[in-house]
Amino acid sequence: MGLHLVDVYRSPNIGVFLKANDRFVLVPKGLAETKCEKLSSSLEVSVVPTSIAESRLLGPLVSMNNTGILVSRMAESTELAEIRSATGMSVSKLESRFTAVGNLVAANDKFAVVSPLLDASAVSQVKDVLGTEVEQMPIGEYTQVGSLIVATNSGAAVYPALDESEVVRIGSLFGVEAHPTSVNRGVPYVASGVVANSKNAVVGSQTTGPELVFITRALSV
């Protein structure tokens, strides 16, 4: 099918606004219908318009796989109910003083890499809601692991400055092949510009040809 270049609100940082699994893509309320149709078609999913804490920055405030959805503790109960109703999935607030759940958890259906910043009860909650094995670890020297990994059941795109042994280890944890890449002309925070599921991915409009090759290989799409 091939990767699709997309921007959202004229920004190539599409991962800041969107979150996807194999059945749904969460999008900000009011996103243009043409954009929603493109996302639905590209990722082969249903579009779920929502907000978290009345914000359209869904990427950093949500972590999800095909089993469950974790959202920032700042989310309102009406928003949780809305997402539950639209998806039929388990939706929970991550009980942590850290609110950027999406930046702290990277998960597919097998595994979740979780930031060392989270306490034991939050880590346990990740395991329960997402139904995965969990390991706390930094990526390189960074604790914002969710911004540095895009993992699906088909592959994983990871922070480009990792050495080969780290990349291989991350891939083995998720049970997929992992490859390093940047996005949007050299941005190392790959989740900021890639939204993916097991079927396909959409990437920010500034992504270069070589980056497209790396991302395609990393995510097996």
pLDDT tens-digit map of 79-131: 999 999 999 999 999 999 999 999 999 999 999 999 999 999 999 999 999 99
**209: buried, middle or exposed (CB in 10 Å: 19+, 13-18, 0-12)?**
exposed
What is the token pair recorded at 68?
């469950």
Query: What is the C-alpha radius of gyration for the chain, rounded to an integer number of angstroms?
Result: 16
Domain with 86 in it: 4-219
Which CATH number belongs to the domain containing residue 29 in this structure?
3.75.10.10
- pLDDT tens, position by position, 39-49: 999 999 999 99
pLDDT value at residue 2? 74
> What is the tally of structural domains in the chain?
1
CA 182, 145, 154 angle in degrees (round to 5)?
65
Are 204 and 7 in contact by the 8 Å Cβ rule? The answer is yes
- pLDDT tens, position by position, 182-216: 999 999 999 999 999 999 999 999 999 999 999 99
CA atoms within 13 A on the CB side of 29: 9
